[in-house]
């Protein structure tokens, strides 16, 4: 039989135990402080690098990929869902980032013009009678009208609105993406009043019609809103609001959000807002002689002569609330100014290009030795696509 073992309890000295616990707490505090300091250093470094990159100006680039192509002076280019559209009088082609063919469509148009909303695209013949509707995978439907087309808008589900005119009668027609007519109206010019432009909300529930009245030698613009939902059904002709402006001509109106529309003139712009019954929210007046007006879904830009700097143009950008968000000057005698997909401003002519950030920094300036057709922003802050005569270059600024 095994011998019985006596177990004894050993008591630790309480003072020694407290010192041990204190050393453990101090070690944990030091470790925590080191971690916090390391995180702060990394955060400051990342912020510093981002700030340095945001404030830096670039005057060169490296080509990361190049695709040769036929001479393209007759074509126009546009960005669509991260891909590149090339279109001309004979058709349209959609290519991916590595220049692979995604889809194409041939047609005959004298003045092909694009309208886009989210994943849907409309190509129409301004002055002709053809409208092609496209989605991510290509052609959805072709609509042939009986009346020459002035302008077309497209909504996020492929519904299109067309403004057409023949003789002294203008027509507005709303079609679904399969070509079925959903609504329509006629405008007669006996009273010297006629539609100039139309705007369709992204959900296709609201349509705005911009009318110009030149009776008795006076100019008046009138914008009417039509609601095709349940709210509009309770109103005469679905009209949920009409607003007139004396001595103002709005050549262009456009929805810049689900419930916000902008009417542009050479004097300024008016922001209309409302989920069911849009009304004027803010009016902005431009200063100086306007050279250009350009916009996208978030911003409205203008350029005008700068009296303090002869030969310079002043660039000013507003958000759709009417607030100024960017200002700078350019000495480039440009023939094209536009927003890129990343909201930067691209100013260019055939051989020169400047890019400005929305924070007023001149980010890039360069003179090319080949004709430049299009600039598109890339997947990160330094990546761009330069479409040039005979080649497409994927580049990184440096």
Q: pLDDT tens across 196-240, in order?
A: 999 999 999 999 999 999 987 889 999 999 999 999 999 999 999
**For residue 1, what pLDDT is reported?**
45
Q: Are 344 and 58 in contact (CB under 8 A)?
A: no
User: Is residue 52 scored above 90 in pLDDT?
Assistant: no
What SS3 state is found at 335? Answer: coil
Residue 379 exposure: Cα atoms within 13 Å on the Cβ side: 3
Task: Read off the pLDDT of residues 278-310 as tens digits, 9 standing for 90 and up.
Answer: 999 999 999 878 899 999 989 999 999 877 778
Q: Tell me the C-alpha distance between 281 and 259, whole Å.
A: 12
Q: What is the mean pLDDT of residues 263-272?
A: 94
pLDDT category of residue 53 using cuts at 50, 70 and 90? low
- Most confidently modeled range among 34-38, 130-134, 181-185, 287-291: 130-134
User: Is residue 332 scored above 80 in pLDDT?
Assistant: yes
Q: Which of 257, 264, 256 is nearest to 284 (CA)?
A: 264
User: Is residue 107 scored above 70 in pLDDT?
Assistant: yes
Q: Within 10 Å of residue 131's Cβ, how many Cβ atoms?
A: 23
Higher pLDDT, 251 or 16: 251
Percent of the chain with pLDDT over 70: 93
pLDDT category of residue 7 using cuts at 50, 70 and 90? very low
Q: Are 228 and 206 in contact (CB under 8 A)?
A: yes
**For residue 398, what pLDDT is reported?**
92
Q: What is the mean pLDDT of residues 370-396?
A: 94
Q: What is the mean pLDDT of residues 161-179?
A: 95
| Residue appearing with tokens 């598109």 | 376
pTM: 0.84
What SS3 state is found at 146? Answer: coil
Q: Tell me the C-alpha distance between 320 and 172, whole Å.
A: 26
For the record, the structure tokens of 365 come out as 């300036």
User: Is residue 16 scored above 90 in pLDDT?
Assistant: no
Q: Which of 306, 303, 286, 382 is nearest to 339 (CA)?
A: 303
User: Is residue 49 scored above 90 in pLDDT?
Assistant: no
User: Is residue 50 scored above 50 in pLDDT?
Assistant: yes
| Residue appearing with tokens 């439907």 | 141
pLDDT category of residue 254 using cuts at 50, 70 and 90? very high
**For residue 6, what pLDDT is reported?**
52
User: Is residue 76 scored above 70 in pLDDT?
Assistant: yes
Least confidently predicted of 3-7, 20-24, 47-51, 353-357: 3-7
User: Is residue 184 scored above 50 in pLDDT?
Assistant: yes
**For residue 186, what pLDDT is reported?**
93
Question: From the centroid of its chain, how far is CA 335?
Answer: 20
User: Is residue 92 scored above 90 in pLDDT?
Assistant: yes
**For residue 48, what pLDDT is reported?**
60
Average pLDDT score, the chain: 90
User: Is residue 34 scored above 90 in pLDDT?
Assistant: no
Beta bridge partners of 135: 138
**For residue 255, what pLDDT is reported?**
96
Q: What is the mean pLDDT of residues 340-353?
A: 97
User: Is residue 51 scored above 70 in pLDDT?
Assistant: no
Higher pLDDT, 291 or 30: 291
DSSP designation for 341: T
């Amino acid at each position: 039989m095994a011998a019985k073992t006596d177990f004894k309890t050993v008591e630790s000295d309480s003072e020694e135990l407290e010192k041990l616990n204190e050393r453990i707490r101090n070690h944990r505090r030091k470790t925590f402080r080191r971690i916090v300091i390391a995180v702060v250093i990394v955060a400051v470094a990342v912020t510093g690098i981002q700030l340095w990159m945001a404030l830096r100006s670039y005057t060169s680039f490296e080509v990361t990929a190049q695709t040769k192509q036929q001479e393209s002076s007759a074509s126009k280019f546009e960005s669509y869902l991260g891909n590149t559209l090339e279109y001309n009088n004979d058709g349209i082609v959609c290519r991916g980032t590595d220049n692979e063919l995604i889809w194409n469509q041939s047609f005959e148009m004298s003045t092909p013009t694009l309208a886009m909303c989210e994943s849907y695209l409309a190509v129409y013949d301004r002055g002709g009678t053809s409208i092609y509707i496209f989605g991510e995978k290509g052609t959805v439907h072709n609509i042939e009208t009986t009346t020459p087309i002035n302008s077309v808008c497209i909504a996020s589900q492929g519904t299109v609105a067309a403004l057409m005119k023949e003789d002294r009668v203008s027509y507005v027609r709303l079609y679904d993406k399969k070509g079925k007519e959903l609504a329509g109206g006629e405008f007669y010019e006996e009273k010297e009043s006629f539609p100039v432009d139309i705007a369709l909300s992204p959900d296709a529930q609201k349509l705005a019609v911009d009318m110009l009245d030149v009776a008795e030698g006076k100019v008046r613009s009138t914008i009417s809103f039509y609601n095709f939902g349940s709210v509009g059904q309770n109103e005469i002709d679905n009209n949920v609001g009409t607003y007139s402006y004396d001595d103002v001509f709005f050549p262009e109106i456009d929805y810049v959000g689900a419930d916000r529309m902008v009417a542009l003139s050479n004097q300024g712009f008016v922001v209309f807002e409302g989920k069911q019954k849009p009304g004027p929210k803010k009016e902005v007046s431009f200063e100086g002689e306007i050279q250009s007006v350009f916009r996208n879904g978030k911003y409205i830009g203008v350029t005008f002569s700068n009296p303090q700097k002869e030969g310079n143009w002043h660039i000013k950008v507003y958000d759709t609330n009417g607030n100024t968000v960017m200002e700078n000057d350019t000495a480039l005698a440009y023939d094209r100014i536009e927003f890129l997909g990343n909201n930067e401003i691209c100013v260019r002519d055939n051989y020169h290009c400047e890019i400005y950030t929305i924070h007023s920094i001149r980010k890039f300036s360069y003179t090319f030795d080949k004709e430049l057709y299009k600039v598109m922003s890339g997947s990160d802050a330094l990546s761009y696509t330069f479409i040039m005569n005979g080649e497409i270059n994927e580049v990184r600024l440096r």
